[in-house]
Structure 1
Amino acid sequence: MITFPLSISANWQCSSSVTGLSLLEQEWLFEPHSLTAKLKNNARSFSVKVLSEQAFSLTKEQQQLLGSSASKALNREVLLLCDNIPMVYAQSWLPNNESQALLHNMGERPLGDVIFQHSALTRNNIEIARFGSSHALQLLVAQLNLPAQPMLGRRSVFSINDYHFLVCEVFLPGAYLYS
């Protein structure tokens, strides 16, 4: 049985120190714009399946990444599906902040559809991680009946004005970047 939130602990590396990526992997991992829009452009249908959305205590590492002393955040876990095939497992940490309550009531709406509409949106450097065959995410892969294989993920901190939030996206087996 899977318990949410899933751990995405990994050896996160700044993009400049990651080697051995194919051009296709680089294209997807370093996409500077909305991953949601990129996925939509490559599929006939796109949908979001919410796996979990709950209050969560931020770890010291997450607080440091966010440059925040906030202790609580909304943890949102979703699958991004293209033509009903799970392509991306995404997790976001949205610190409690009344000015950004809109991001706390997303339902099945993609986060990317909302945040990339803000002219004040900025993103810090993209970090990359590899998730091996023994990583906890493989439980989700098995539940989705996808082949067990190493996966790649990316994370970055976004800011809208003074509000900072962390987003992590892991490309599931069969995702476009493995074509």
Structure 2
Amino acid sequence: MTTFPISLSVDWSPASQVSDLSNSEHDWLFESHSLTAKLKSHSQSFSVKVLSEQVFDLSIQQQKLLNCTLTSALNREVLLLCDDKPMVYAQSWLPDNLLLKQSKNPLHNMGERPLGDVIFQDPELVRKNIEIARFNSIHPLQQLVSQLNLPKQTLLGRRSVFSLQSYNFLVCEVFLPGAYLYS
């Protein structure tokens, strides 16, 4: 049984240090617009399956990434499915800011709505640097891969900090076996 949140502790590399990617891998990992929109354009049906949505303490590393002193965040873990096939495991860390809760932050309580459908509608959205990571066959994420009956293989992922009206949040996306990225 998978325990949430799934640890995404690996060596994340700045984009400038990643050179051994295929053209397809590069195109998907460095997509600057909505990954949700790109996935939708490659499938007949797109859906989101929420795996977990809970408040957790932020690690010191996450606080540094988010440039915040807040100690907790809403962690949302989802699968992005194309034609009922899991393509991407995504995890977001939305700092638990009381003022945002009081203003009805649209990023909280999203249910099965994709985060990309919400954030990329705002012209003030800023994405900071994309970092890339590889998740080997013994990484804890592989437990989810096994539960999905997908073959174990090294997986590629990306993460970015986004800023929306001075609110920073972290989004990590890992491409699962069989995702378009690997074709």
- Indicate whether the TM-score tops 0.5: yes
1:178 matched to which residue of 2? 182
Deviations 1:70-107 (A, max 9, x none): 10100000000000000000000001132462111100
2:120 matched to which residue of 1? 116
SS of residue paired to 1:156: strand
SS of residue paired to 2:64: helix
Farther-moved stretch of structure 1 (112-121 vs 91-100): 91-100
1:127 matched to which residue of 2? 131
Task: Give the alignment's TM-score, normalised by structure 2.
Answer: 0.96
1:119 Cα offset (Å): 1.0
- Percent identity at matched positions? 69
SS of residue paired to 1:20: coil
Stretches of structure 2 lacking an aligned partner (at least 5 in a row): none
Q: Which amino acid aligns with 1:76?
A: R
Task: Give the alignment's TM-score, normalised by structure 1.
Answer: 0.98
Deviations 1:22-76 (A, max 9, x none): 0000000000000000000000000000000000100000000000001010000
Is 1:14–1:128's contact at 8 Å kept on the other side of the alignment? yes
1:75 matched to which residue of 2? 75
Stretches of structure 1 lacking an aligned partner (at least 5 in a row): none
Change (3 A) 1:29 1:100: farther
SS of residue paired to 1:174: coil
1:147 matched to which residue of 2? 151
Is 1:100–1:163's contact at 8 Å kept on the other side of the alignment? no
1:161 matched to which residue of 2? 165
What are the equivalent positions in structure 2 for 1:5-154 lying under 5 Å apart?
5-97=5-97, 98=100, 99=103, 101-154=105-158
Deviation beyond 2 Å, 4+ runs, structure 1: none
Deviations 1:124-167 (A, max 9, x none): 01000000000000000000000000000000000001100000
Distance of 1:100 and 1:156 partners within structure 2: 24
SS of residue paired to 2:31: coil
The answer to whether residue 8 in structure 2 is matched with residue 4 in structure 1 is no
SS of residue paired to 2:150: coil
Aligned length: 179
